[in-house]
Amino acid sequence: MTEPAHQVHWSGSALLAFSRVWVQVTGAVLFLAISIALSPSEFGEFAIAASIYGAFALIVGHGVYEYVMKMHDSLTAPVTGFYLNMACAAATAALAIAISFFLTPLLKTAAVGHLLRLLAPAFFLQGCNTLMESVLMRRGQIGTVAILTMAADTVGLAVAMSFLGLGAGALALVIQRLSREGLLTVAYALSRRWQMRFAFDFHEAKQILRFAQNIIMARGIGAGAAAITDLFIGTALSVADAGLFRLANRLVNLGTDILFQPFRSTLWVRLPPLRDLSTPFARATLEMTEVFGVGLFAIIGGMAVTASAALPLVLGQKWKAAIPVVCALAIGRLISMPNCSAEAVLALRNRERFMVVSSFWGSTLTLAAIIISAPYGIIWCGVAVAVAGLLSQFYMLPVLAQCCDLKIFDFVKLMWRLTANALVMALVVVPWLMLGDRLGLHAWLLLVSAVLVGAIAYALAALRFTPLGYSAYERPLVETFRRAKKAFDRTTPQTE
């Protein structure tokens, strides 16, 4: 007896969604492990190599994956896509190896170039994986892809932790990447009977390249800017400073991604049916932006006010210099919070071109700010990024407001109310940390108590200034507590 097709589809989709969450979890655990195990210099060396690798990796498979999924009836698309992936992998690997030899005199260390050369085989593995995954997905084997992805990520994490424990340093992360991609290639190859044949279609290859160029361009702007930023900081300052900046940026991204992924999914569910209804569309956009903002200001704002106590305690004293950078980048992320709604709103209003152009100018503005501020130290690089985030609002907010039939002042008022929440939290947490330090409280007790006091202060402020956003988080928590209490009461034996 077999399951109905719709049940298989939904169970596979649920597994796939969970696998995406699992990727974030394993990435966060690995990030925490390498932050503790590596020095800022070693962390910076791998960060630069990984950024360059990530920028080049966008050329391999991206766009081909989506084209094969789109042309689900084409018999030649997978084969043509495979040969294109292999050609792109060979070109990017050769380019990465060539660039690696110029990095040694530029960064005054041979480690970055060595790591980049060792990562070169991963381009070919990635090219195979993206093609095979797209074929499995279009044949409905969603659950298979999800399970194999989770297994590969888990094994990769275990490999990295093992080699970090053996003292391999940044080399452990290269081994992790190669083992993860290699295991995924073998698993995909064994998951079905593949019949490779030479059926390269030049006409279809042109269509794939034409289709892929916009996807690669849209995704490559951010990745390219990150690689250039890391490389410039490593050159103008030091590899250790590049490590400090990348760690601070990664922490802020982790805090943002916790909320942004479900927020983006909710936007794409709620807004499309309202696209032709001006007032409901505007109201829904503001409401969801407030809900997302309440969560983001709590997490990122809390990260900024507790960084001085948390970073040295959790990651070690070696990362103490990253505290002001984390605070500056956190402020910059909060300032640019309205941009998080832009992707869905601009796409639904047919402003995709502006979305790509604004992404390009935002990355250019951030990079220019870092170049100008780098001679004054890594702290000023963080401040410059925050200023760039503020300046980006001058061209983003007017278009966003116009697409929603709102006024700029509507978003400004929302930002003021969210800022009031964060200020109340800061006015409570900062004196609490200072007082606890003077009283000689244990470091962990001080940090946990500061988080607890800050959460209470923020919740009270949110109830006053952003009640809609507060209720969006309060209702599910209360409901979960009630269900847990009922379940506990049912399992607890009654006594007379």
- CA–CA separation, 322 vs 304, rounded Å? 11
Q: Which tokens in the block code for residue 206?
A: 């042109």
Residue 426 is inside which H or E element, if any?
helix 408-439
Longest dimension (CA), the chain: 82
- CA–CA separation, 219 vs 227, rounded Å? 13
Looking at the predicted structure, is the pLDDT value of residue 4 above 60? no
CA nearest to 361, candidates 394, 392, 400, 403? 392
Looking at the predicted structure, is the pLDDT value of residue 140 above 50? yes
pLDDT at 117: 93
pLDDT single digits (tens) 308-335: 989 988 888 889 989 999 999 999 899 9
DSSP letter, residue 376: G
pLDDT at 461: 94
Residue of 155 and 268 predicted with greater confidence: 155
Q: Kindly report the CA angle at 286 between 271 and 219, in degrees rounded to 5?
A: 60
pLDDT single digits (tens) 179-207: 999 999 999 888 877 666 666 667 777 87
- CA–CA separation, 97 vs 250, rounded Å? 26
pLDDT at 462: 93
Burial 2-16 (b: 16+ CB within 10 A, else e): eeeeeeeeeebeebb
Looking at the predicted structure, is the pLDDT value of residue 7 above 50? no
Q: Is 245 exposed, middle or buried (0-12, 13-18, 19+ CB in 10 A)?
A: buried
Between helix 111-119 and helix 121-138 the angle, nearest 10°, is 40
What would the mean pLDDT of 122-151 be, rounded to a whole number? Answer: 85
Q: What are the residue ranges of helices labelled H in 315-351?
A: 323-335, 342-348
Q: Decide: helix, strand or coil at residue 495.
A: coil
Q: How confident is the model at residue 492 (pLDDT cuts 50, 70, 90)?
A: low
pLDDT at 478: 78
pLDDT at 404: 86
Cα distances from 301 to residues 333, 335, 423, 487, in angstroms, run: 10, 11, 9, 35
Q: How confident is the model at residue 131 (pLDDT cuts 50, 70, 90)?
A: confident
Q: How confident is the model at residue 493 (pLDDT cuts 50, 70, 90)?
A: low
- CA–CA separation, 6 vs 415, rounded Å? 43
pLDDT single digits (tens) 275-313: 788 888 889 889 889 999 999 999 999 999 999 989 988
- CA–CA separation, 392 vs 36, rounded Å? 34
Do residues 152 and 128 make contact, with C-beta atoms less than 8 angstroms apart? Answer: no
Compute the 3-state secondary structure of the chain and give helix, strand, coil in percent, each to the nearest 5: 85, 0, 15
Q: Is the pTM of this model over 0.85?
A: no
Q: Mean pLDDT for the chain?
A: 84
Side-chain-facing half-sphere of 248: CA atoms under 13 Å: 32
Residue of 76 and 102 predicted with greater confidence: 102
Cα distances from 50 to residues 46, 96, 144, in angstroms, run: 6, 11, 28
Q: How confident is the model at residue 17 (pLDDT cuts 50, 70, 90)?
A: low
CA trace torsion 304, 308, 314, 316 (10° rounding) = 130
CA nearest to 331, candidates 369, 313, 351, 305? 305
| Separation of first and last alpha carbons in the chain | 49
pLDDT at 477: 78
CA nearest to 335, candidates 387, 290, 270? 387
pLDDT single digits (tens) 334-391: 998 888 888 778 877 877 778 778 878 888 888 888 888 888 888 898 899 889 888 8
pLDDT at 301: 93
Lowest mean pLDDT among 226-235, 253-262, 438-447: 253-262
pLDDT single digits (tens) 437-476: 888 888 899 999 999 999 999 999 999 999 998 888 888 7
Do residues 367 and 310 make contact, with C-beta atoms less than 8 angstroms apart? Answer: no
Q: Kindly report the CA angle at 42 between 21 and 157, in degrees rounded to 5?
A: 30
Q: What is the 3-state secondary structure (H, E, C) of 36-84?
A: HHCCHHHHHHHHHHHHHHHHHHCCCCCCHHHHHHHCCCCCCHHHHHHHH
Between helix 77-107 and helix 121-138 the angle, nearest 10°, is 150
